[in-house]
Amino acid sequence: MADRETDKPSGEDRTHAGMEKALEMKKAAPKPDHPTDDSADKGMRKIENPEVEKITDPREIGRVSQFVKNAQARRDTED
């Protein structure tokens, strides 16, 4: 569709033509050498660190957390 006053293609026409040209260029481009699927084959794998040691028993962490929570609640309710 052209503008009536200037006989130039409208912005919408130029945009559409540019999009068509880009699509043609994309289709004409050489295909990549690498696979385009989303699945991994071989690559980096997680390796557990054998030197890691448990520092604290999780029950102790929970006990201390609960103690701090209760202590804070006591402080909050004091006058």
More confident residue, 55 or 25: 25
Residue 15 domain-assigned (yes or no)? yes
- Give CA separation, 11 vs 1, 14, 17, in Å: 9, 5, 10
pLDDT at 12: 85
Residue 3 in domain: yes
Q: Is there a domain that residue 26 lies in?
A: yes
For residue 8, tell me if it sits in a domain: yes
Question: Range of 21's domain?
Answer: 1-30
Is residue 38, in this structure, part of any structural domain at all? no
DSSP 18-78: HHHHHHHHHHHSPPPSS---S---S-------TT----S-HHHHHHHHHHHHHHHHHHHH-
Per-residue pLDDT tens digits for 44-71: 778 888 887 778 888 999 999 999 999 9
Residue 79 falls inside a structural domain = no
Number of structural domains in the chain: 1
* 6, 14 contact by CB (below 8 A): no
Q: Is residue 44 a part of any domain in this protein?
A: no
pTM (two decimals): 0.33
What percentage of residues in the chain have a pLDDT greater than 70? 81
